[in-house]
Amino acid sequence: MSTQQEPAIPVPGTKEATVAEKAEKKVYRLPGPQVMWWVWVVFVAANLLDLAIQGHNYESLQIAVGLLAITGLVYACTLRPRVIADAGGLTMINPLRDYRIPWPRIAEIYLAESVQFKCSEGDGASGKTLHSWALYSPRKAKLKADIRGRRWERGAVSRPGSYGRMPEEGRDAARRSATEFIAKEIDAKAKDAVGKGATGGRVESHWAWWSLFGILIGWPVLALIIALH
């Protein structure tokens, strides 16, 4: 008689379940937009500090409000966009709209100028293709990855010493861009969830009102300040 016990399944709402959910959650985003955001933050902070010390006139106020108005747009386009994968599906956060796609509803994943998710027929976004702002894939980046892989294949001096000993799967991964690698990983997660029995689900979308507010609020204020001068 076997005394082996079945692994315990975390009860939803408990600490163990929360830890398990966090372990399964993964955020996908590229480093470029994040770098752009922090460069912009440093630029704005330096200018605001300079205006606070030296500028005490109406023009300085206009410049400060203008910088803050642009900051809302920069935030929405750089730091906000991301794709979050968890046990139930994919959350795609774009500058102005958010999407929730259950794993079974991802019919296909395309890689063009950005990663695109085609939804299967069903409740919400039936047959539609949703584009990810965070996972962009410029042709230049794809070309660089392809050229690097070909150079390594020819035995260029710059290739890693272990490249020749890699299995074909490893060499293929080395020739991909970061966005291609992410798209393949997400596709594998979707197929794994369906293989475990996940079915159906509604694709949901809604406007990111706070992001929209942050983009728009500064411009009427700036226009009013200019008009009153």
* Range(s) of the domain holding residue 93: 24-137+177-228
- 15 occurs within a structural domain: no
Tokens of 49: 């500090």
Same domain, 150 and 126: no
| CA-closest candidate to residue 51, choices 32, 35, 38, 68 | 68
- 1 occurs within a structural domain: no
Note the pLDDT tens digit of each residue in 118-145.
998 888 878 899 999 999 887 655 545 4
- 13 occurs within a structural domain: no
- 3 occurs within a structural domain: no
The per-residue pLDDT for 123 is 83
Same domain, 64 and 123: yes
- 42 occurs within a structural domain: yes
Q: Phi and psi (nearest 5°) for 141?
A: -65, -40
The per-residue pLDDT for 93 is 97
Same domain, 68 and 128: yes
* CB proximity list for 198: less than 8 A, separation 6 or greater: 102, 103, 104
Note the pLDDT tens digit of each residue in 17-65.
455 556 679 999 999 999 999 999 999 999 999 999 887 888 999 999 9
Please determine, for residue 146, whether its predicted confidence score (pLDDT) is greater than 70: no
